[in-house]
Structures are given as structure tokens and as C-alpha cells.
Structure 1
Amino acid sequence: MTSEYLVLPTMSGSPPDDGGTVEVTLVPVTGADGREQLVALAFTSVPLLVEAMGERQPWAVLPVGEVAGALRGSGARSVLVDPRLAADEE
């Protein structure tokens, strides 16, 4: 089953009411060529985002077809969907 919407973690609370911009969370990832690039994280549901990033993580929902346009100019080279994030080791 394919989701029509993606949930993107953001850097701040709820989106502005005026349709302004929201800063999505970008993370550095090392590609197959050994070079680091920024990627956006996205989840197919809020429960998956909460499982990976916690209940206090702010987020925004976008239709799948609008994600590329929303990320234009952000520096993100790709989108990781439903990533499994490594737990912090202490």
C-alpha cells in the first residue's frame, strides 16, 4: 500500500497559518561514493515518525506529489522514507 501523504519532521512547532515556510529536518548521510549529502526524512504515518523520533518531534504533512517542490532550495539531495534511526549508544 502506498501512502498519499508523507509526514516530515520539522525544526519547529506547528506550520504557520499563513502558508509560510516550515524548516524540515535534514540529516547528513554518506553515499555509496563516500561523499556526504543532506537528505530529508519522511514517514508514511505519524505513528512511524513517533516510533523513530519521539512524541515531542514536531512534524508537517504533505501530499507525496508536493514533497519535491517543498524541498526545492533546502539542500536536500533525496528523501529517506520510513528510515530506521540508530539509537544513541552511551
Structure 2
Amino acid sequence: MGQLTQLLAIGGVSFSSNMQMHGGQIITRGDAIFTSNALGKGASIIAGGKIDGTSNMEMMACDERGMEDNLHIDHYRLAE
């Protein structure tokens, strides 16, 4: 995944070895699975299922900017 990328998935996501996230965000309804040597610098992974990673992972906190303003979805409320 590239820098500041957002990935929304109705199902799950699975990445092979050497996945790198730099300020990216994954939101999935299913599982988020990644294998060895994953690197996350400011990564946000939100899964409706399980988050599963294997050996040699390195995950670091988000910078001061945070992720709260990354995703904007128009939504409407219907009332009678």
C-alpha cells in the first residue's frame, strides 16, 4: 500500500510478506491477514473480523496528524 492510501473492503483483505503501510488505513468488514515482515508506520487497520499477522512485524504509532479526518462518507437520515 502506498502513502496515505485508504482501502475499504466489503469482504476481507490478505497480503503476502513485506507489506508496508506509511500513513495508510484499511477498513474491512471481514478479516485483515498479513504474513511476515510487515511494516506499519502510522498504520490504521480496522476489521470486522480478526486481524492476524505473523512473524517479524514492526508497527509504529500514527504521527500527530492522526486518522480521524481521512475518511469522509456522505450519509443521510430518513425520517417520517
- Which TM class, normalised by the smaller chain length? under 0.3
TM-score (norm 2): 0.27
Which gives a bigger RCO, structure 1 or 2 (Cα 8 Å, sep 6+)?
Answer: 1
* Greater fraction strand: 2
Q: Which structure would you say has the larger Rg?
A: 2
* Greater fraction helix: 1
TM-score (norm 1): 0.25
